[in-house]
Amino acid sequence: MNQSALLQYCMAKPGAEQSDRNQWQASQVKVGEVMFAMVLDLDGRPALAVKSSPEQAESLREKHPEIVPCEHLNKAHWNAVFLDGKLPDSQFYTLIDGSYQLALEGLSDQVRQELRA
């Protein structure tokens, strides 16, 4: 998995918008002003930051050494997933999909309706 492929997958989501976070040297992907993914380098390693429930975040960290708390974001909800680990590509897509769904839930009904149109 590489950063370009992940950004392309994220940007295919309805309403997705990309912006750069220069202080972190990262690309954020948001829907309706709510971030659902961030592609960045952590300690010189390419990574993807995604949101999940605190329970799922902890469970993922216990099962996969390439998943760690994200240093720039709320560590209870946000994981950084190193791209150079052994996680299969399908798991990255599943994590992005879940994070996108959480972002949608945080939007107003009106914004969600507009995204469906």
CATH code where residue 71 lies: 3.90.1150.30
pLDDT value at residue 29: 97
Structural domain including 36 reads 3-108
pLDDT value at residue 16: 97
pLDDT of residue 117 exceeding 70: no
Question: Does the residue 114 lie in any domain?
Answer: no
**Rounded Cα gap, residues 50 and 87, in angstroms:** 14
pLDDT value at residue 82: 96
Q: Give how far Cα 8 sits from Cα of 13, 65, 73, 74, 105, Å.
A: 9, 25, 22, 25, 22
1 versus 53: the higher-pLDDT residue is 53
In the chain, how many domains are there?
1
Determine whether 69 is exposed, middle or buried from the number of CB atoms within 10 Å of its CB (0-12, 13-18, 19+): middle
DSSP tally for the chain: helices H, then strands E? 4, 6
Question: Does the residue 18 lie in any domain?
Answer: yes
Question: Does the residue 115 lie in any domain?
Answer: no
